[in-house]
Amino acid sequence: MSETLRVTALFAITALAEILGCYLPWMVLKRGATPWLLLPAAVSLAAFAWLLTLHPTAAGRVYAAYGGVYICVALVWLWLVDGIRPSGWDLVGGSVALAGMAIIMFAPRG
């Protein structure tokens, strides 16, 4: 697997862990779901924090670039979980965010 694909996949998995860790408490607080969902939410957020440590560059750069992937994964979540199809503007914004991530993560460093 190429380094670019590996880093992008790691970002996507990291984003899923964060989104799930935030979505489950939202379900408890907004939709009255069982408070037991807070346990897998905590595990998911712990996994999110651990996954951030696996990224191959400085923490600040990872956090900055991660935001772009998070936006795109959140849009996929919007579609698949919330059942709301992203608008054209959502897709443009997600593309811009991914371009920003690529510039930050894959720019030549000297």
Q: What is the pLDDT of residue 62?
A: 80
Q: What is the pLDDT of residue 41?
A: 98
Domain hosting residue 99, numbered range: 3-106
| 106 CB-near residues (< 8 Å, 6+ apart) | 4
Query: Using 50, 70 and 90 to split pLDDT, how confident is the model at 1?
Result: low
* Domains held by the chain: number: 1
Give pairs for 28-35: CB < 8 Å, separation 24+.
Answer: none
In the chain, the amino acid numbered 61 is: R
- 3-61 pLDDT, tens per residue? 778 888 888 899 999 999 999 999 999 999 999 999 999 999 999 999 988 877 767 78
Whole-angstrom distance, CA of residue 68 vs CA of residue 73: 9
Q: What is the pLDDT of residue 101?
A: 87
Predicted confidence (pLDDT) at residue 65 exceeds the cutoff of 90? no
| Mean pLDDT of all residues in 75-90 | 96
pTM for this one?
0.82
Q: What is the pLDDT of residue 93?
A: 96
Q: How many CB atoms lie within 10 A of CB 65?
A: 24
Residue 108 sits at the vertex; the CA angle it makes with 92 and 73, to the nearest 5 degrees, is 30
